Chains A and B, each alone.
Chain A
Amino acid sequence: MSTTASEYVGNIRDTVTSFWHGMSVTLSQVLRRPITVQYPDRLELPVQDVLPARYRGFLEVDVDICTGCQACERACPISCISIELEKDPSNPKQRVVTQFDIDEAKCMFCGLCVEPCPTGSIQHTREFEATQRSVRNLVFRWADPIKPFPVYKVVKGAPYIPRAPLGSLVQALVARRRWDAPALTYLPPEPLKAPPPPPPKPAPAAKPAAAAAPAAPAAPAAAKPDAPKP
């Protein structure tokens, strides 16, 4: 592999010109403003204001205008919304929502639940900051089982449906909760698994216990200490 004189000189010229242009480009970068956004503490605007226009953050449910139709629950492709409805014991014609849980840890923020909602009760907010030590605390409970909320009946001919300011409810919910709060205990306990080193004899004995566990949701506190961590 021999190099002619013109190639030799050409190589030197190429090296010099590429140095020239390359170093000029990097120097011009030094003189420009870095594009880094120093989240979270050195922002010029609140982070909610610099997010993209159609940003989909945590789901928020305005329980005052929820009709209890469960369209969102059916629309959810990964079943992270679970809704329970009961009849109000004092007023049999009135249905109440006893459970409206959204697991934001499971939610994939697809927005399919927002579309079928007849009143615009469930909406994506621009909130996304709710770090929790326990992932179970990312289950946002919009209904209180002790004090269930009645379903909303749309007034015929109403010009608009009043809704709380978007994001205010999620902010209040997040603000009420410590980041290191203990994990929720009212979830159904997980089925008991066989102990780690299973001796051949007690293995069948573990099965009835696992079967019994979902049937006894009334005693979650008792079942909790035995439940293995996921």
Chain B
Amino acid sequence: MTQFSFAFPKPGTKKLLVGASLGAVIGIPVLLACLLVFVIPMMHKPLFDAFIREKLGRDPASWAGTQWTYGLAFFVAGIVMFTFAAITGGIFSWYERRVAARMQSRIGPNRVGAGGFLQWIADAVKLLFKEDLVPGEADALVFRAAPYFVVAGMTLVLVALPAGQAIVVADLDVGIFYILAVTSFIVVGVILSGWSSNSKWSLFGAIRATAQIISYEIPAGLAILVPVLMAGTLSTQGLIQAQGGWPWEWFFFRNPAAAVAFFILFISQLAEGNRTPFDLAEAESELVAGYFSEYSGFRFALYFLVEWANLWIIGAVATTLFLGGWQIPGVGTQTWAAVRGSGSFPAWGWWALQFVSLGVFALKTLFLVNVVIWIRWTLPRIRIDQMMTLCWKYLVPAGFAAMLFTLIWQMIATWAPVVERITALAVLAATIWVTWRFLVQTRKNVSLIAHERIDLSNW
């Protein structure tokens, strides 16, 4: 028999540090996934009514407490979604710094926890303990209120944003339109903070941000129209259900115009999220930090939280519209219905499949998040006239063209569905070929410098 003894590692030892970090690396995503999978589907009316009927022993139609439990459930759902956004935003902040460092031949934060993973917690705690300053000449009430508009603009998106087959807080009929609408809420907070700070940097930053975000909503809207035309619905879940699990069933590949629209949407989202190369509103070399120059402490942390939580939103919206969302390859509507069973509560297989769908969605989203980070540390900031030129002279005409092409394409696809399948396979093959060429080019770039080779050590 093997002797097994366990002693809790002493504080300050390497074992404890690595253990705590590994616990956080594995525990936090697992915890978030469990929260999303087990809490959010329960919010839907049939399941929640079944919960009231069978677990609480009341009739949801006649019981006086039904509305209260509904309210409580929505409160819980709100907490879960906000926790999800806050923690992913925090982890992205660490991850982006590590990736940025590698791209600049540095190492990045690697001291707090193993690999520096706990850095974002340390930063957040530090910011929470900072003094919450309001500039002397600022409009104090508006100055204090502005961050909440920005946070609200980010959080409201999460209501209609799916993350799995049943993991969406509310599957609105106008889901994608709602997302487009509440994203503009951020503009209100930006211009309020810029105006109320009574600082020229903040005001310039806010004006730039407003001009930029409003301009780029037009190409974003046009690009969103393409998958909407293909799916015939505005509901985010409906858009995903109109696609399939295999890549050739995704909108991105099914229609050449959709591939163009994907890039238009992606660029527009970068601009709306104030990400480099469109971070004119926060241009450090010109405007200190743009519209949040005067903020400190908790309110400053809120702006950064929104900036990094937006990363997930950028990736998730593009995944939903073009990359097949949570659709698992080979799992269709019949499979979902079969594993659910006929009971009032779904069977365990259904919950397990929810985890898989969440994983598929997260995988695609995290890939796009990586691309966003990658672009940020590749491209320099563009000038404001270049930004406007790109929007109005290139993206808007291209968006209209993509939309018109899609109208014709849908007629062709209805007439001969095989055309769509052939196109999908051709575009997929072209994408794979381009990816391969890109990797070859990268391999060449690594070996261009003498004695350099692929080496992922020195973490």
Contact = CB atoms under 8 A, between A and B. Distances in A.
Nearest to B390: A15
Interface stretch (A16-24, A48-56, A144-152): A16-24
A17 to B, nearest CB: 11
Contacts of A36: 105-107, 458
B392 interface: no
Interface in A123-144: none
A33 B446 contact: no
B453 to A, nearest CB: 8
A12 to B, nearest CB: 7
Contacts of A31: 442, 446, 454-456
B458 A34 contact: yes
A25 interface: yes
B262 to A, nearest CB: 14
A26 to B, nearest CB: 4
Given A29-B105, A36-B107, A23 B378 contact: yes
B376 to A, nearest CB: 10
B103 interface: yes
B101 interface: yes
Nearest to A30: B102
Interface residues of A, dominant DSSP: helix
Q: Which of A12, A29, A30 has the most CB of B within 10 A?
A: A30
Contact of A33 (B104, B394, B455): B455
A24 B444 CA distance: 9
Q: Which of B375, B438, B446, B454 has the most CB of A within 10 A?
A: B446
A32 B107 contact: no
A229 to B, nearest CB: 30
A6 interface: no
Interface string B379-402: 100000000000001100000000
Contacts of A32: 105, 446, 452, 454-455
Contact of B378 (A3, A12, A22): A22
Contacts of A29: 102-105
Interface string B428-452: 0000000000100111011000001
Given A25-B445, A33-B458, A20 B438 contact: yes
A181 interface: no
Contacts of B414: none
Given A23-B378, A27-B442, A34 B105 contact: yes
B457 A33 contact: yes
B70 interface: no
A144 B438 CA distance: 70
A30 B99 contact: yes
A38 interface: yes
Interface string B6-25: 00000000000000000000
Contacts of A30: 99, 102-103
A19 B371 CA distance: 12
B379 A34 contact: no
A172 to B, nearest CB: 30
B445 A22 contact: no
Given A20-B441, A24-B441, A25-B445, A34 B101 contact: yes
A3 B394 CA distance: 12
B304 interface: no
Given A12-B394, A30-B99, A32-B452, A23 B457 contact: no
B452 to A, nearest CB: 6
Interface of A: 3, 8, 11-12, 19-36, 38
Given A30-B99, A31-B442, A38-B107, 14 more contacts: A22-B378, A25-B378, A26-B377, A26-B378, A27-B445, A29-B104, A31-B456, A32-B452, A34-B105, A34-B106, A34-B107, A34-B458, A36-B107, A36-B458
